[in-house]
Structure 1
Amino acid sequence: MCLRTFIHIRGMAALHSCLVCFCLAHLCLTARCMNSSSSDHHGKTPLYVGGFFTFDETVSATAKLPQVAMKAIEHINNLSFLLDDYELRLRWGYTKGTGAGALSVLHDLVFKGPPVVLAWGPFNDREGFVLSEIAATYNLVQCYTGITFFEQGDPRYPLTIQLAEDERAVDSIRLSFSNYMGWKRVAIIFLDVDSIRREVDNMYRVLTEGGIHVLTVEPVKDISDAYQQLQNLKKHDARIIFIRVPLGSALIFFCQVYKQKLFGPKYVWIIPKYYYGPWWRLRYQNLDCNDEEIRQVVEHVIGFESPDVVQHRKSFSMNGLYQPVDGATEVFVFARISPKLRYTMFGIVSMCIVFGLGVFFVNNKYKQRKVMRITSPPLNNLIIIGGLLHYASIFLHGTEVADLDNFSTIVLCHARVAFTAIGTSLALGALFMKTYRIHIIFNKAVSKLRRVRGLPDSKLIISVAVLVFIDILVQTVWVLTEDTNVVEVELHRSLNPLHPEKELYTVTMMKYCQSQNQLYFAIVIYATKSLLLIFGVFLAWGTRRITIPQLNDSKYLAISIYTVALATVLGFPALEVSSNNVSLYFLVLCMSIVIPNTLVLCMLFLPKIWQLFKNNDDAVSISLMASESRDSKLYDTGNDVHSQRLYKELQKVDLPPYRSRTRHDTHTLGTTHFKCTPI
């Protein structure tokens, strides 16, 4: 029993068409027949009908077709009301499925034996095209039983009567069945001849107007060489394929289908309605495939002939297998940050922002107190503002771009870069400027015991402003000169494990911004920040032994810089590794910002706040810490008379009220006239 699936609903249309054909032949040729034929012993005038049968008795599926035809003629002859004084007789021959064989039979029918008034057949298109054109030259009515439809009024076939139903009449059934099965993507492959191309054009129109997407239409010039067309079907991932190939060439074609591995449960081949009976057994040509290979291909073939298929379609099954699909169905979703992670980090960052605002309030409210004044409140404000911008950037990075249009996504991308870059310049720039001033005052003063030109807050703030200006300039040029586009990339895809046979894939996408020269702009930003960080690490190392016992500000500055450097060194590789996991990327980014940022604020301001409420201004003193390193003599004050004198002078200093610095303010170390500048 063949395992193939075949919807084969055959009506009586062919028989009725034959009867009409015989009647037409009788009406058209009665006069000639009566004049040219004599009555037989029954007193009836014989009308000879020529029969063209493709296969001989070696093909079991069609071996009895001549006997069936003679039985039908006998039945017609017994109808007394139809032919009156005439009777039909059959003269026939085997065409062997070739045009030459069909012409040989035609020659015998015309020039040998009694003349025929009508020709029935053939079924094969290749024979039919030849016979229908040649038969007209002998005034022979050709009842064409093939399936390729001739256009009405074609001058090449004036005496051809089409018996088979027009293949185009089934196109609406194909559409209905495809919609019922849920198939929205199909392909068409056909033998490229005029008559079939017209049918394919109509099929394409019906399918597309019915909402079916035709992936590709592949015409085949030589049915024995369809390699390229089959490869194109593979490239388009066509699963539901309509074939329009004459029956005589079907096995040749499906043998190539087998060799290209376009068969199995994933593929459905929908054949024309004229593929009758066990057509896959009609092996009248040598094939490169055996019966078992052909059987594997046709195991998932569907065919239908009648509109009745619409009423019977619910009985369709693929031999108990799952319903085939028209291809892999991809459901696109954008990668999203875990809601729990996002809201947790937003909560933590919100508390950090409250802490930063509190520090900002204390720094400005008590800026006249000696504890705060000697640490330069304006630079402290810049550090706090930079930290707040860093915290704010986390909210920007936590915003889902999947919910935004392209324009809003581009604005968000630039805002992320701007907040991070400017925040870094403000926080690190001010932090490094404070460290630089400590380096200048103590390093040079102690080592060379000379006057040091003043470094007022205004000059240091200008230096930080230059860094911020560079960031703004780079960002502005980037926005104005570059066309930023939103790019969607596939991260991964996963098959629905509950219904793998449906090939439902969830494709996770990620959306990000991209511009042609963004690499160069990124290099400029990273280069400035890297140089700033390297400079800060150098200063921190140079001032590592300088302390103010009551505040220990220099030590905390160095620790802050080391923390930022460590977070940067560890953070960038971690971000690169986790770039394809949005939740992990967001977590690493938050940790890389929150931890060093919060630690810097705590290091710089918590000791000051503690001293602010613990001691009064008179308890604040300044000193140099003696070096404990044997190999360093820069801060060794044990045997240095000048350093001892400097130490005593620093202990006696009385800081004046805080005021803005002017260009006349100076630091005088190593003399009795010492003015203290905020550090």
Structure 2
Amino acid sequence: MLMPRWKVAGWMVMANLMVMISGQIHHHYHAGHHHNKSKRNNPVKGEVLIAGLFPLAQHSEASRLGRGVLPAALLARDHINHRHNLLANYELQLDVNNTACDAALGIKAFLDMLYKKPGRRLMVFGSACTEVTGPIAQASQFLHLAQLSYADTHPMYDHMKFPNLYRIVPSENQFNYARLELLRSFNWTYVATLYQNEPRYSLAHNHLMATGTDPSAQRYRLLVQRSFTDLSELRNALQQFVQKGARIIFGSFNETWARVVFCEAYKLSMYGRKYQWVIWGGYSKDWWMVEEEEDGQQCSSEQLVTSLNGYLSTDILPLSLDNEPTISKLTPSQYEAMYEASKGSDYSPFHGYTYDGVWAMAKAIGIVIQQLPKGTTIDMFDYKMKFWSERFLSALKNTEFVGVTGPVKFFNNERVGRILVKQFQVIEASSNWAEERIIALYHNDSSFMDFSVGTAPIFWHGGNAPRDRTIEVVRLEHIQLVVFITMAALSSAGIVMAVTFLVHNTKNRHHKYIKMSSPYLNNIIIFGCIMTYTSVFLLGVDTGLVGEEQIPAICTARLWVLTIGFTLAFGAMFSKTWRVHAIFTNIKLNKKVIKDYQLFLIVGLLLVFDLVILITWQLQDPFQYTTKSLQEFEDIKNDYLIKPQIGFCVSEHMTIYLGVTYAFKGILMAFGCFLAWETRHVTIPALNDSKYIGMSVYNVVIMCVIGVAISIILTDQQEYAFIIISVFIIFCTTITLCLVFVPKILELRRNPNPEAKRVRATLKANKSSKRESFSADMQHRVKQLQDQNVKLKETFQTKSTELEELIKELGDEARELLQKQGNPQRPRQKISFKGLTSDEDEEAASMSQDESEDRSDRWPLVEVSASAASKCMYVHYKPRKNSLDGPTSLTVLSEPSSNHRPSTNMGLPTITDADESGTPLQDTAKSIADIFGGVYVGGADPVFPSKKSLKHEKLPPRKNSVSPTSPTADSDQVVPSGRGVSSLFVVSNSKGTLNGRKDSIHQMSNHRATSSPSLRDSSFSDAIDLIEVSSPPMEAKDAMSPLLNNAPIPHSNTLPSVAENKKTKASLGNRVSSSIRCDVIASL
């Protein structure tokens, strides 16, 4: 501890007084001394005295130092006295005095030594304690004595303030140079300092600041510096270090506070990989092993070891690591052996410096003796003469030799020595076995840090030296080259495949199978797919491949290529799907041909819409390159704080343009999905790729929706977004090409001759669900027929009323005449049914009345009477020539909501012609659904709703007279009689329950009207009413009148007339069950 100035002044006054009082004593001493010498017989050697100050008191920690170094001093004296030429025949004597590290005792011993003991002390050797060294160093200036300290490292002794004081041991200021060299060695720039608020540590810290912030060097930057005197200040300082992000911390404090500091550091986790402590050394052995109760300690030894592990410290070098001979002709190891043999139980790390200190003073004395002018001898030394102090101080300054502690050299009164760098390393964590190990040696004379002399390698948490701060690394993210090459290779393979399909499609474009699939539209699909493949290359180009100034052009190219490629590929598929839907789903009764140029026009319109958006976007709001900072993260291994950035293109109104583009493409894809769904059950050999086109539409839509969603989600993950979007593009494009072109290639291999197989174009309805296939179309047709029936009913009622009035005016004779001549033909309305031929250019065929006779071998003509009512429709069926005698009329109740809905799965009513022998004519069979649903009529190969549900049986030969009520007549069969009988089979099951029931086949006479009770009692009594109408004996109108007037069919063998019908209408209306419906009325 530094002594106050008033105490120093007091000791100086006392010293001066003692010198003045003892002046006479000095005179008598010199006289007696010379007198004694004259009595000696010219001795060979003279004596030179050195004042030695050592703390030698018992039961004191500081005294251990003195007792540990004294043997080394005596050993040096003996070795020097064996060198006769060093002191020019003078013998060195060491006057040992005990200071007990006490300032009062030290000053007293110093004055007694000077004035009470015989002999003149040329130099003062000591002391080891700052409490003694300081006052004596100040007194030495007045007495003109040179002083050399062997163990005091206090930084207070500046050569300007204490010019007479030298130190053989490096001071704590010398440790700062080693600390600064550690900063340079490990590239540490930002540091924080923490020191105990006492002169020993504050002065060293100030010297560090002055040296480290030298403008010529600028070795480091101080983040924060804090001192402490109590625990509260210490905690605040450490928390500030954490807030400032300090990693490298220089600490200067005694070992008592060192335990507290590292305990608090343990609580704040200021240890391990991120932190590096560099502290003052020189602590006692195992200083961290203390009891938990000691000094209010709150951490155990285990916790302290964890916190201390890896710290660096600076310390004096006890003995040189070079095993070379010294000034004493001994190597450091030889000297150490002698010292160990001579010392007692006390040890001091300063013993080597004590040995070298004695040698340094002897060498300085020898130099002075040699440089004295003639006539002057060392015996003339006087305390009051400044001449002697200047001689000795100059000699010390120029003294250089190799000692046991290394080279001895002084600069500004300081030893330019070597500093040890140690590290605290845990040897065995389980037992808390740890020690400080030498890792480097700093040479102050050459400013060199030697890591090769360490007894152990340096240890770093995490394997690398910690960084002085968290280094913020701004890293622009790029797509890895291997990823880009992989995706580019896959896209290239896709382009090669597309070109192969293009060559194949072009080469075989005249092949009938390829020609029917619109090869030029297929080429557009290929070109669009090639452009989408190309977009993968553009998506992977970033600043890792090109400069930032080129990125906007790349972004523009991406947008144009991908947008136009999608429009070409999807637009072509969309147009082909639309053609399939337009021709075969919305079936019309007239011929409809959609040529390829119309599809090209659709694609062109879609492309024009895209070009308008793209050109407007490019001219009004071009792309600009910018970067965006992402979430920072820490690289634990390298101790980096990574701040990733991504580069991308942006425009001011990009959201608007993207919204318009996505909306347009979304509507287009939604409509494409709708068309594909509507035509999912359509099989069209004439347009042989319709099924695969629909599958491609689904594929494109699904992939586009997922791709757009993922691209939005992974906006900040450019590499992942590139991989996923590229995979989607490649997969979607490849699947589309394969679905469109692979079946064509397989077909051409299977059937290379286009004429070998005649292609027949048909529309195949869904067998499992006709409701799904024709629901929309049938509802539209039913609505039209209902509206027509209402109008016709009104017309019929009007005409019927007029006819009745006319008949009443004419009377009964007119009625009989009309019955004999037959009703005049009412105007009839023709129905045409659409069918397809095998000719690819003829998509539809219509039937007219004039064509019916020319094509009577293909299908008969069906005409609808204009007198049809709302409940029943009166249909004249004109059979093939010579197949039936006379016109045949069919009346079918038009109740689309129940009887004739296309949702019936099986067994729709079927009408089959039969010849005179009763054999059904297969080629003229047709169903009610065929007639009114518009699916199929006539032809050589009729399509039955369910062939398994129809049972055609050969009828027995016609008999001339069998009554329906005859016992031989079957209840489910009416056998007609008479010449010119026409046979018509009716099988009906309007409820769709025919399966599992016995088919009912009814044969009707052409002279009777029958509504058999037995028929009503059969399994079809709730579904069938049969009426036999004769022509010309009975008017078709009269036969139909009960039904047209909503009256039930009477149970009689003859059909009532109109008059009778009027009478029975009211009485019979309530007797017929509401479940009885007039599904089919067959009239002959």
TM-score by length of 2: 0.43
> Does the CA contact (< 8 Å) of 2:527 and 2:565 recur in 1?
yes
Match for residue 253 of structure 1? 261
Aligned AA (2:418): P
Give the C-alpha shift of residue 431 in structure 1.
2.4
The DSSP-based 3-state class of the residue aligned with 1:466 is helix
Of the three residues 37, 43, 47, the one matched with 2:22 is 37
The DSSP-based 3-state class of the residue aligned with 1:327 is coil
The DSSP-based 3-state class of the residue aligned with 2:191 is strand
Give the C-alpha shift of residue 89 in structure 1.
9.3
- CA 1:399 to 1:671, structure 2 compared with 1: closer, same or farther past 3 Å? farther
Aligned AA (1:187): V
- CA 1:642 to 1:391, structure 2 compared with 1: closer, same or farther past 3 Å? farther
> Does the CA contact (< 8 Å) of 1:51 and 1:120 recur in 2?
yes
> Does the CA contact (< 8 Å) of 2:53 and 2:96 recur in 1?
no
- 1:652-667 equivalence runs, <5 A: 653=841
Aligned AA (2:735): L
> Does the CA contact (< 8 Å) of 2:707 and 2:725 recur in 1?
yes
1:584-613 Cα distance to aligned partner (Å, 9 max, x none)? 876654542233312322333455665696
> Does the CA contact (< 8 Å) of 1:376 and 1:457 recur in 2?
no
Match for residue 356 of structure 1? 498
- CA 1:269 to 1:580, structure 2 compared with 1: closer, same or farther past 3 Å? same
Aligned equivalents of 1:464, 1:326: Cα separation in 2: 62
Of the three residues 508, 514, 530, the one matched with 2:666 is 530
1:394 aligns with 2:536: yes
- 1:469-484 equivalence runs, <5 A: 469-471=612-614, 473=616, 479-480=622-623, 482-484=624-626
Task: Name stretches of at least 5 consecutive residues in structure 1 with no aligned partner.
Answer: 1-27, 96-104, 496-502, 656-666, 673-679
Match for residue 230 of structure 1? 238
Match for residue 557 of structure 1? 693
Give the C-alpha shift of residue 470 in structure 1.
2.9
Bigger RCO of structures 1 and 2 (CA < 8 A, at least 6 apart): 1
Aligned equivalents of 2:536, 2:639: Cα separation in 1: 32
Give the C-alpha shift of residue 530 in structure 1.
3.2
> Does the CA contact (< 8 Å) of 2:511 and 2:754 recur in 1?
no
1:302 aligns with 2:309: no
Give the C-alpha shift of residue 541 in structure 1.
1.7
Aligned AA (1:63): S
Aligned equivalents of 2:585, 2:247: Cα separation in 1: 79
> Does the CA contact (< 8 Å) of 2:509 and 2:519 recur in 1?
yes
1:220 aligns with 2:226: yes
> Does the CA contact (< 8 Å) of 1:190 and 1:243 recur in 2?
yes
Give the C-alpha shift of residue 342 in structure 1.
6.7
> Does the CA contact (< 8 Å) of 1:48 and 1:90 recur in 2?
no
1:423 aligns with 2:423: no
Aligned AA (2:278): I
Match for residue 938 of structure 2? none
Give the C-alpha shift of residue 356 in structure 1.
1.6
- CA 1:466 to 1:165, structure 2 compared with 1: closer, same or farther past 3 Å? same
- 1:81-480 equivalence runs, <5 A: 145=152, 147-148=154-155, 163=167, 165=170, 167=172, 169-174=174-179, 187-191=191-195, 196-203=205-212, 217-224=223-230, 225-231=233-239, 241-245=249-253, 250-263=258-271, 268-272=276-280, 275=282, 278=285, 280=287, 286-288=295-297, 292=301, 300=310, 301-305=312-316, 306-307=417-418, 309-310=441-442, 313-318=451-456, 325-327=464-466, 339=482, 346-361=488-503, 379-397=521-539, 415-416=557-558, 418-440=560-582, 446=588, 455=598, 457-471=600-614, 473=616, 479-480=622-623
- CA 1:207 to 1:590, structure 2 compared with 1: closer, same or farther past 3 Å? farther
Aligned AA (2:154): I
Aligned equivalents of 2:128, 2:257: Cα separation in 1: 15
Aligned equivalents of 1:72, 1:33: Cα separation in 2: 33
The DSSP-based 3-state class of the residue aligned with 1:43 is helix
Match for residue 647 of structure 2? 513
> Does the CA contact (< 8 Å) of 2:51 and 2:95 recur in 1?
yes
More helix by share: 1
Aligned AA (2:225): P
> Does the CA contact (< 8 Å) of 1:337 and 1:582 recur in 2?
no
Give the C-alpha shift of residue 299 in structure 1.
5.7
> Does the CA contact (< 8 Å) of 2:832 and 2:846 recur in 1?
no
The DSSP-based 3-state class of the residue aligned with 2:228 is coil
Give the C-alpha shift of residue 387 in structure 1.
0.7
Aligned equivalents of 1:286, 1:135: Cα separation in 2: 38
Root mean square deviation, CA, Å: 6.5
Q: How many residues align structurally?
A: 599
> Does the CA contact (< 8 Å) of 1:121 and 1:146 recur in 2?
no
- CA 1:527 to 1:271, structure 2 compared with 1: closer, same or farther past 3 Å? same
Aligned equivalents of 1:488, 1:565: Cα separation in 2: 32
> Does the CA contact (< 8 Å) of 1:187 and 1:216 recur in 2?
yes
Match for residue 740 of structure 2? 604
Aligned equivalents of 1:218, 1:431: Cα separation in 2: 71
- CA 1:29 to 1:520, structure 2 compared with 1: closer, same or farther past 3 Å? farther
> Does the CA contact (< 8 Å) of 1:627 and 1:635 recur in 2?
no
Aligned AA (2:677): W
The DSSP-based 3-state class of the residue aligned with 2:464 is coil
> Does the CA contact (< 8 Å) of 2:703 and 2:728 recur in 1?
yes
- CA 1:544 to 1:281, structure 2 compared with 1: closer, same or farther past 3 Å? closer
Match for residue 500 of structure 1? none
- CA 1:165 to 1:87, structure 2 compared with 1: closer, same or farther past 3 Å? closer
Aligned equivalents of 2:631, 2:562: Cα separation in 1: 24
> Does the CA contact (< 8 Å) of 1:216 and 1:236 recur in 2?
no
Aligned equivalents of 1:29, 1:303: Cα separation in 2: 40
1:333-365 Cα distance to aligned partner (Å, 9 max, x none)? 9887695x8766655533321232244445567
> Does the CA contact (< 8 Å) of 1:136 and 1:158 recur in 2?
no
Give the C-alpha shift of residue 555 in structure 1.
2.6
Aligned equivalents of 2:847, 2:154: Cα separation in 1: 114
The DSSP-based 3-state class of the residue aligned with 1:485 is strand
The DSSP-based 3-state class of the residue aligned with 2:685 is coil
1:291-323 Cα distance to aligned partner (Å, 9 max, x none)? 836666556443244436247642424599778
Aligned equivalents of 2:77, 2:508: Cα separation in 1: 124
Aligned equivalents of 1:56, 1:492: Cα separation in 2: 58
- CA 1:166 to 1:425, structure 2 compared with 1: closer, same or farther past 3 Å? farther
Aligned equivalents of 1:298, 1:456: Cα separation in 2: 82
Give the C-alpha shift of residue 64 in structure 1.
3.6
Tell which deviates more after alignment, 434-443 or 589-598: 434-443
> Does the CA contact (< 8 Å) of 1:167 and 1:199 recur in 2?
no
Aligned AA (1:537): C
Match for residue 909 of structure 2? none
The DSSP-based 3-state class of the residue aligned with 1:615 is coil
Of the three residues 663, 666, 679, the one matched with 1:543 is 679
1:63 aligns with 2:63: yes
Aligned equivalents of 1:265, 1:487: Cα separation in 2: 27
Give the C-alpha shift of residue 561 in structure 1.
0.8
Aligned equivalents of 1:41, 1:671: Cα separation in 2: 165
Aligned AA (1:189): T
Aligned equivalents of 1:188, 1:615: Cα separation in 2: 90
Tell which deviates more after alignment, 324-333 or 258-267: 324-333
Aligned AA (2:193): I
